[in-house]
Structure 1
């Protein structure tokens, strides 16, 4: 198995103070979260979850296995929402640092990952199974990863060191404060010190593992 460490494969507890507070349905009806004054609606979130469930169904034709997959990913809605929020925080931090990502950057990363995984279908399977990312969202997900890597480089943050991680997450915490994020409590709580829910699965803050193609006997 080939292991690829991202630029920000980090431990959870680092810097910053909590900046995300809960919002009630009376304040933001129909909103799963409000980030920088922009709503992530419950309908948008449910749409993303349906995409993943449809992909899981297609990849798991056996009913028993599919039910096991649903049980294993029972927190999909909350995890997906937190990923959507984190993506917006990263966008703000990157913009503050003057970082941009081109389509070519994303294409290059995808090509490299597909080569490591053993093809496009293999990459789709890995991203769906390990990270809950539907095939149609892989490019969006990889853009986020490239953005995180470029941000750490712009900050001079060596993510293999404690100081480097602290520098990166300080920038993320500042971006969170600027965005004045509100989260609907039905989807859980936000811990900025851990930069995610305790059980969230967010590819760009974890070590991404890509299985190499099986070697012929």
Structure 2
């Protein structure tokens, strides 16, 4: 099987794993903003809206309140993780633009179709991404677009997304965008977070994320 079909990059999982090792960077005051990326403010309200999407999807995916509370407990750092994901999305987009890389809808659907086939259908894939990576179903295509973009960026750089060269490109994009995160959500250092963290960023789609069993 072609390498691009075998490998899926799970950005959300990278952020969950990397967040504890992120170190101080930026630190300017931006009232009302969860983060500032380039000229774009990610407001606290926008962040909360994304978190609420995940919580609603988690609630809809389980049968009762106790199972929902278990899901909430498993994702206790959802606000921080979601913000770091939103920042990385923008940083990756910038790095891809700098390298002349784009991802089109056909490529996204090709990846999605392959993952759905491996996972056992659309619902199974959506559930797996929700449970393991905190991606709400309505955001799945956006997430997969980033996976395609990351793969193509790595290929353009003649490297692998687990290698320092890939994260150097993201670090350069971070500096270009002057990323600044509200301290209440941690801090941003894509180079240290990406390279130092042990993450399931690279995984073979022949073994898709398993849907967690509920009691």
TM-score normalised by the chain length of structure 2: 0.81
Runs of at least 4 residues off by over 6 Å = 198-201
* Mapping 1:14-29, distance limit 5 Å: 20-23=25-28, 27-29=29-31
1:150–1:97 distance in 2 versus 1, CA, 3 Å? same
What SS does structure 2 have at the residue aligned with 1:40? strand
- Name the Cα RMSD after superposition: 2.9
* Mapping 1:101-116, distance limit 5 Å: 101-116=103-118
Cα distance in 2, alignment partners of residues 183 and 211 from structure 1: 30
Cα distance in 2, alignment partners of residues 61 and 31 from structure 1: 35
- Between Structure 1 and Structure 2, the one with more helix by share is 2
* Mapping 1:192-207, distance limit 5 Å: 192-195=190-193, 205=201, 207=203
* Per-residue deviation, 1:7: 5.5
167, 170, 173: which one aligns with 2:168: 170
What SS does structure 2 have at the residue aligned with 1:21? coil
Cα distance in 2, alignment partners of residues 199 and 68 from structure 1: 26
1:7–1:73 distance in 2 versus 1, CA, 3 Å? closer
What SS does structure 2 have at the residue aligned with 1:194? helix
Q: 1:73 — aligned with what?
A: 75
Cα distance in 2, alignment partners of residues 51 and 120 from structure 1: 18
Give unmatched runs, 5+ long, in structure 2: 1-5
TM-score normalised by the chain length of structure 1: 0.81
* Mapping 1:58-137, distance limit 5 Å: 58-137=60-139
* Per-residue deviation, 1:29: 1.4
1:124–1:200 distance in 2 versus 1, CA, 3 Å? farther
Which string of whole-angstrom CA distances, capped at 9 and with x for unpartnered residues, describes residues 170-201 of structure 1?
111110100001100111122333336x9998
* Per-residue deviation, 1:37: 1.8
Cα distance in 2, alignment partners of residues 8 and 132 from structure 1: 11
Cα distance in 2, alignment partners of residues 72 and 8 from structure 1: 18
